[in-house]
Chains A and B, each alone.
Chain A
Amino acid sequence: MSFLQHDVPLSWYLLLSAILFSLGVVGFLVKRNLITVFMSIELMLNAVNLSFVTFAYQWHEVRGQIFVFFVMMVAAAEAAVGLAIIIAVFRARSTLAVDRIDLMKL
């Protein structure tokens, strides 16, 4: 069972992080619902967190993990404020479609 003993190259973790980030960007561009667009941003934040943890593992540097901790804190605060803004927008426009929320468009 030598297959079980194999280690995982850290570049695979970085590749996974790049794929997740790109999928988040796709979601941000393609999705037309305000809440789903916001979820895509969370996906991008998570992808970056994964590469932080990978680099922290590689260089035995605990500060990478602490950075992820602070990113989580800020993301939680951002989610609370962002969802409150979404509720306020929905109350004013009664829609969540990003194409209909175009008051600031020239």
Chain B
Amino acid sequence: MHLILFFLFAGFCLAGAINLLLQTHPINSALSLIVVMTSLAVLYLLLGAEFLAIAQIIVYSGAVMVLFTFVVMLLNAGREERTLGSRAASRIGFPAVVALFAILATILLHVQGLGAAHLGEGLSNAPGQSNLELLSQVLFHELLLPFEVTSVLILIAILGAVALAHVEGSKIPESERVAQK
């Protein structure tokens, strides 16, 4: 069962990632990235990371990708154009990327003592303790301060985003502004 699910969703992942590269329209790339992220959530579930699987769907496939598609629609981004720069990048880039992949694969495949994954095995050695329990214990006891600091980080990011995207002296006429309310 695990093998079938792995092949199915790894296939979805790879198909989505390759489709992201082949599509010329940004909205198609964004939609294939959603496929990649949702299949990754299923793979997390297979590896016993239930919390991360749900967080992946909510944060990535939900919030982040909605932001992406929203910006694509807002800017009315059209078909991308092929230029001289992309040809040079692909001529040098592709061999470099193949070399990078070879190095990564060699290093990762030489990791000693890797086992096999099977369904239903938790991270905890204690019986009856779920992964979620273990994770929340570490996250809300030992790492409480970094957890709170990330909320401040998100707040700063929101303020920064608003400050960056805000127009000095909004161009919307007064009559339309009333109509929007």
Contacts and interface: CB of A to CB of B under 8 A. Distances in A.
Do A and B pair up? The answer is yes
Interface in A48-106: 49-51, 53-54, 56-58, 60-63, 65-66, 68-70, 72-81, 83-88, 90-91, 96-99
Judged by DSSP, the binding face of B is helix
- Interface of A, secondary structure class, is helix
A6 B3 contact: yes
> Which of B71, B82, B105, B158 is packed against the most chain A CB atoms within 10 Å?
B71
Contact of B72 (A35, A54, A81): A35
Contacts of B143: 66
A49 to B, nearest CB: 7
Contacts of B150: 70, 73-74
Contact of A26 (B14, B81, B97, B117): B97
Interface in B65-97: 67-68, 71-72, 74-75, 77, 80-86, 89-90, 93-94, 97
Interface string B108-121: 11010111111001
Interface of A: 3-4, 6-27, 29-33, 35-36, 38-40, 42-43, 46, 49-51, 53-54, 56-58, 60-63, 65-66, 68-70, 72-81, 83-88, 90-91, 96-99
List the 6 closest pairs (A to B, CB-CB), nearest first: A77-B157, A7-B116, A84-B164, A29-B93, A84-B161, A22-B101
Given A33-B80, A43-B20, 4 more contacts: A14-B109, A27-B21, A29-B97, A35-B77
19 contacts: A8-B6, A10-B116, A12-B6, A14-B109, A15-B108, A19-B14, A20-B17, A30-B89, A30-B90, A39-B30, A66-B139, A76-B64, A84-B165, A85-B164, A86-B71, A87-B71, A97-B80, A98-B85, A99-B85
